[in-house]
Amino acid sequence: MRVELEALSRSFPGVRAVQDVSLAYEPGRLYALVGENGAGKSTLMHLLYGMLPPDAGRILVDGRPVRLAGSQDAIRLGIGMVHQHFMLVDTLTVAENVVLGAEPGRWGRLDRGAARAAVRRDAERFGLAVDPDAPLESLSVGEAQRVEILKVLYRGASFLIFDEPTGVLTPQEARGLFAILRRLRDEGKTVVLISHKLDEVLSVAEIIDVMRRGRHVGRLAREEAGAERLARMMVGREVLLRVDKPPAAAGPPVLEARGLGVRRRPGQAELADVSFILRRGEILGVAGVEGNGQRELAALVTGLLRPEAGELRLDGRPLRGLTPRRARDLGIRHVPEDRQRTGLVLDMSLRENLILGEEGSPAAGQAGVILPGRVAALARRRVAEYDVRVADTRQSARALSGGNQQKLVLARELDGDPRLLVACHPTRGVDVGAIEYIHRTLLAKRTRGLAVLLFSSELSELLALSDRIGVLYRGRLTAVLDADVVDEETLGLYITGARGVADA
């Protein structure tokens, strides 16, 4: 199946997400689409998958223009998408998930034997080992992704789009996925891998398309593309905005972890024997592939999880029986990894969101009564100070852009000069301008003595902001490195366990 995109454009209010993009895809090749966050990669693929209509331009399949009113149309044409967030039903079995909506069987009967056979057939042909009868909730993330791929194949897709598929995978699982992508290609399918990770793109893709700010800026064969060249194309000619990190002036220890540990449970990774010291005026980055204990460490420090071994000390005093409320009272603040689910109550106003956790303080009211005047004044000050671009603080948080929502969380958590900030992926999914602002704010607070425990999956971010970087690998702190002497490549070796385990 040959797929062509002709002069596709699509805008959202205030953003020209995709501008005049033309691309052609030949069958049996493995493509990659790279670009920074917000470069328009996902939007382009959503246009191709019928999830969004284009403002201009057209899509041709085997030379014929097609109209896609929804993803159903795309599926019918043989275009399939493996989403970043899985669309799977936990309580159904693998086979049931695969056939759902297109079930084999007559007279309303669900032919389980046929469903199982279909899963086995595709699984064998494409090397997607998974038990058709296993309930979905018993699967690992990597296996669940295979089920998503099987779903797409079962519906007869010959053009497969993978939207940032490795974000949730361990390095081993990612290698397994790449083998599957190659296998799919060998079987004559067209594969498009959307990614912003250059190393993985260079290791699997044959043809690499680069997008920048909504435009297609070039197509390279793997042989002619190097990491530097791709990076230059992704970022543009102008010099990369580097945050200026003043030299560290770390003071006395603020947070001390001694032999922290929690056991592995469903939905919880293991953490074992984690010890570190975080000083005043210091940013300690934590690097690691998702699922290696970062979430658990952040939860321990913020009181959301109790350690089963070891202890935490704040200013030298042990933190026993820490609860989120007590953590706040002690000056420990938290920028959670998912601002929409944990950081904010989206349907409440900016004002209400800004006093959450302090609704009992004199800044918000008196004797259990919230005083609207005080709240409004507080909200206005914080919104102005933290550059939340909003006309009216009575607006609901849902109406804000990702970057503004994140600044809202920062305004609440950083105001009042706390002792310690646990920042989890503080720039995930926000626009470039907001990233810059957030970086500058964190560094400014550090200069004023804030201790920051920074979790990020972007190694470049960790390197730019941190004074030292700890590496979590399989729940253990396998190294603590000086941020000035490591580079991204070395850090990559540590987070995949190629280095550091023996030294720890």
Partner 1 sequence: MIGLLLGTLRTATPLLFAALGGMFSERGGVVNIALEGILLVGAFAAAAAAYYSGSPWLGVAAAVVAGVGLAALHALVSLRFRVDQIVSGVALNMLALGATEFLMWIFFGSGSNSPRLGSPGLPATAGRLLVELPPLTLLALLAVPASSWLLFRSRFGLRLRAVGEHPEAADSLGLPVHRLQFYGVLLSGALAGAGGAFLSLNAHYFVKNMSAGRGFIALAALIFGKWRPGGILGATLLFGFAESLQGHLDLPWLPVRFMQLLPYLLTMVALVGVIGRCRGPAAVGRLFVKD
* Chain positions contacting partner 1, by CB under 8 A: 70-72, 75, 83, 87-92, 96, 100-103, 105, 108-110, 112, 151
410: tokens are 């920062």
Q: How far is the CB of 191 from partner 1 (least distance, A)?
A: 20
Cα 50-54-60 angle, rounded to 5 deg: 65
Q: How far is the CB of 109 from partner 1 (least distance, A)?
A: 6
Per-residue three-class SS string for 76-88: HCCEEEECCCCCC
Task: Report the C-alpha gap between 452 and 419 in whole angstroms.
Answer: 9
Please, which contacts does 123-130 make with residues 24 or more away whose CB atoms are closer than 8 Å?
123/150, 125/187, 126/153, 126/180, 126/183, 126/184, 126/187, 127/179, 127/180, 127/183, 128/180, 130/94
| DSSP codes, 163-200 | ESTTTTS-HHHHHHHHHHHHHHHHTT-EEEEEES-HHH
Burial (0-12, 13-18, 19+ Cβ within 10 Å), 490: middle
Q: How far is the CB of 89 from partner 1 (least distance, A)?
A: 5
Q: How far is the CB of 11 from partner 1 (least distance, A)?
A: 18
Task: Report the C-alpha gap between 499 and 27 in whole angstroms.
Answer: 39
Q: How far is the CB of 101 from partner 1 (least distance, A)?
A: 4
Q: How far is the CB of 105 from partner 1 (least distance, A)?
A: 6
**C-beta of 103 vs 311, nearer to partner 1:** 103
Q: How far is the CB of 315 from partner 1 (least distance, A)?
A: 39
Closest CA to 60 of 113, 5, 123, 133: 5
Q: How far is the CB of 155 from partner 1 (least distance, A)?
A: 9
Q: How far is the CB of 121 from partner 1 (least distance, A)?
A: 20
**C-beta of 151 vs 412, nearer to partner 1:** 151
**C-beta of 83 vs 212, nearer to partner 1:** 83
Q: How far is the CB of 502 from partner 1 (least distance, A)?
A: 43
**C-beta of 102 vs 227, nearer to partner 1:** 102
**C-beta of 110 vs 480, nearer to partner 1:** 110
Say which residues have a Cβ less than 8 Å from residue 262's Cβ, sequence separation at least 6. 268, 270, 271, 296, 300, 305, 307, 308, 309
153: left (phi over 0), alpha (psi -120 to 50) or beta: alpha
**C-beta of 102 vs 444, nearer to partner 1:** 102
Give yes or no for a contact between 219 and 209, defined as CB atoms under 8 angstroms apart. yes
Residue 203 Cα distances to 175, 209, 220, 230, angstroms: 10, 14, 14, 13
Give yes or no for a contact between 91 and 135, defined as CB atoms under 8 angstroms apart. yes
Q: At 12, phi and psi to the nearest 5? A: -115, 165
Amino acid (one-letter) located at 224: E
| DSSP codes, 294-363 | HHHHHHHHTTSS--SEEEEEETTEE--S--HHHHHHTTEEEE-S-IIIII--TTSBHHHHHHTT-TTSTT
Q: How far is the CB of 72 from partner 1 (least distance, A)?
A: 5
**C-beta of 101 vs 259, nearer to partner 1:** 101
432: tokens are 């470039």
**C-beta of 71 vs 342, nearer to partner 1:** 71
